[in-house]
Amino acid sequence: MRIVVSGGTGFLGAPLVSLLARDGHEVVVLTRGSHAADSPKISFATWTPNGETGSWASVINGAGAVVNLAGESIAAKRWSAAQKQKILDSRVLATRSLATAIREAASPPPMFISGSAVGYYGPLGDQPVAEDAPAGSDFLAGVCAQWEREAARAGNRTRLVCVRTGLVLEKDGGALPQMLPPFKFGAGGPVGSGRQYWPWIHRDDWLGLVRWAITTPTVAGAVNATAPNPVTNTEFARALGRAMHRPSFMPAPAFALRLMLGEMADGLLLSGQRAVPAKATKSGFTFKHTHVDDALRAIFSRQA
């Protein structure tokens, strides 16, 4: 079938596009730039994700699925008021464009897999958090709640799945490469109290979960894309140290991180939630990497 992927050039989107093409699908990537495809199964369509539709919307009509991963990076720049607006608008407007195109299509795609994040729940303590937990009230929770509301505008002619993604682990992007320098210099360790939960997931399992969401007609609504065993930040640091064969006992104090990163330190590093993949587990989805030691060892033992 034809699968349309927005943000299909990113850390999660690019390997998803390759996987779907290998599965035999025809994949159309919606991008703001211009790209050359290296597979006959993959093509690129330029779009302007401004809340409206455009000529690009013709690829949505008759597609088998739409996957929405577009959005300004949340960790690339300090959270000034302007940057926070960009983080919000890029998700809300891109999702509105897609939802409108789906709603207006003569032959709407039967499924719409739209991005979201575990930040939906806001900072929480050590209680496990399944998909039925309410939204939090901090900046990221507000972004995720609005992002999901926009996706719901696609209407009831499509099966909507909002993928509440945790911290995706791989070497070539996402948060992991940014964590490595202190560990390489022997100065790695927990951040802040280290007691905050980090709901991680290996990228291979994230890809598997999206494929499962596409191919399983009973999956709908919010889905936590996190591994079954979230860990505290201290446990994460220890596991990273073990995988890298480096020490991991040097704490990074909260005040220093706040000084360096401002509000972003609390939003991304010093807080978290013990999100668990209740829906995926219940439906029998099999994770390849259930424990963080195993996931990080797999990542760091691989060459290149």
Query: Is 287 a residue that touches ligand NAP (CB under 6 A)?
Result: no
> Applying CB under 6 A, which of residues 3, 5, 7, 190 lies at the interface with ligand NAP?
7
Quickly count: other Cβ atoms within 10 Å of residue 45's Cβ: 17
Query: Is 32 a residue that touches ligand NAP (CB under 6 A)?
Result: yes
Least separation, in Å, of the C-beta of 177 and ligand NAP?
11
**Half-sphere CA count of 229, side-chain side, radius 13 A:** 11
Least separation, in Å, of the C-beta of 92 and ligand NAP?
10
Query: Is 13 a residue that touches ligand NAP (CB under 6 A)?
Result: yes
> Applying CB under 6 A, which of residues 122, 123, 174, 190 lies at the interface with ligand NAP?
174
> Applying CB under 6 A, which of residues 20, 25, 28, 49 lies at the interface with ligand NAP?
49
> Applying CB under 6 A, which of residues 4, 21, 27, 31 lies at the interface with ligand NAP?
31
Q: Tokens standing for 257?
A: 């991180």
Write out the binding residues for ligand NAP, residues 124-163 only, by CB under 6 A.
none
The three-state secondary structure class of 123 is coil
Task: For ligand NAP, give the closer residue by CB, 159 or 202.
Answer: 202
Quickly count: other Cβ atoms within 10 Å of residue 46's Cβ: 14
Query: Is 114 a residue that touches ligand NAP (CB under 6 A)?
Result: no
Query: Is 5 a residue that touches ligand NAP (CB under 6 A)?
Result: no
Query: Is 90 a residue that touches ligand NAP (CB under 6 A)?
Result: yes
Query: Is 72 a residue that touches ligand NAP (CB under 6 A)?
Result: yes
Query: Is 277 a residue that touches ligand NAP (CB under 6 A)?
Result: no
Task: For ligand NAP, give the closer residue by CB, 175 or 244.
Answer: 175
Please provide the DSSP assignment of 59-120 as one string: GTTT-SEEEE-----SSSS---HHHHHHHHHHHHHHHHHHHHHHHH-SS--SEEEEEEEGGG
> Applying CB under 6 A, which of residues 43, 48, 61, 73 lies at the interface with ligand NAP?
73
Identify the residue whose tokens are 């948060």. Answer: 175
Closest by CA position to 226, among listed 241, 205, 246: 205
**Number of amino acids touching ligand NAP (CB under 6 A):** 26
Cα distances (angstroms) measured from residue 53 to each of 99, 102, 275: 9, 10, 34
Type of residue numbered 84: K
| Contact residues for 236 (Cβ-Cβ < 8 A; gap 6+) | 190, 198, 200, 292
| The one segment of 56-64, 101-109, 169-177, 241-249 that binds ligand NAP by CB under 6 A | 169-177
Task: For ligand NAP, give the closer residue by CB, 90 or 248.
Answer: 90
Please provide the DSSP assignment of 182-244 as one string: HHHTT----BTTS-SEE-EEEHHHHHHHHHHHHH-TT--EEEEES-SS-EEHHHHHHHHHHHH
Task: For ligand NAP, give the closer residue by CB, 19 or 250.
Answer: 19
Task: For ligand NAP, give the closer residue by CB, 60 or 94.
Answer: 94
Q: Which residues bind ligand NAP (CB under 6 A)?
A: 7, 9-13, 31-33, 49, 69-74, 90, 94, 115, 117, 165, 167-168, 173-175
